[in-house]
Amino acid sequence: MKNKILDMKYVIENGIDYDKLESEMFTDKLIEPESEKGYTGLVYESVSENQISGYAYYRDGYIDGEHVHFHLNGNVRSVVYKKDSVADGVYKMWNEENILIEEGENRLGIRIKYRKYNIAGRLIEEKKEPTATELKHMKIRESREKNNNI
């Protein structure tokens, strides 16, 4: 994980509530209603006035960086690195007692490897590499991504 988890108060004071933005049909791109451009900045989803369920940084309307979710008790539920709103990088998940239960890596929205733990911290399941089918899908997505950037 690259960044420190932001304090809920900081996020509320420096971000914008998801509900104040518009979502573009079919793409889920977040749009600033006034300018009709993709939103860039910190966005949070609120549970109540002083509590949020999560936050993420957006660039041009899409999540770009860490997407953080919280349990109702305020502990971190998950941190997932995303690029263009697609899981692409490391992730970690914790239970409500703040015990790490899973960590791994995504590539182009595909969970390519992970480790799952029990509440005692013992490894209970592991995936060390992507399957042949996942590798095939990643190549297709990489090709599409490359062609879209031309």
Distance CA 53, CA 39 (A): 20
* Number of residues that this document lists for the chain: 150
What's 107's DSSP letter? Answer: E
Q: Is residue 1 a part of any domain in this protein?
A: no
Structurally, the chain folds into a number of domains equal to 1
Domain span including residue 135? 8-148
Distance CA 75, CA 97 (A): 7
Q: Could you give the count of Cα atoms lying within 13 Å of 72 in the half-sphere of its Cβ?
A: 0
Q: Is residue 138 a part of any domain in this protein?
A: yes
pLDDT score of 150: 57
pLDDT score of 2: 52
Q: Is residue 38 a part of any domain in this protein?
A: yes
Give the CA angle between residues 85, 87, 90 to the nearest 5°: 135
Q: Is residue 2 a part of any domain in this protein?
A: no
Q: Is residue 63 a part of any domain in this protein?
A: yes
pLDDT score of 144: 84
Report the SS3 class of residue 92: strand
Q: Is residue 3 a part of any domain in this protein?
A: no
Q: Is residue 28 a part of any domain in this protein?
A: yes
| Strand-pair partners of 43 | 16, 56
Report the SS3 class of residue 55: strand
Q: Are 44 and 32 in contact (CB under 8 A)?
A: no
> Which CA distances in Å does 131 have to 19, 71, 135?
38, 32, 6
Consecutive 10-residue averages of pLDDT for the chain (150 residues): 80 96 90 92 92 96 97 96 95 97 96 97 96 92 78
Task: Give the domain CATH number at 87.
Answer: 3.90.930
pTM metric for this prediction: 0.88
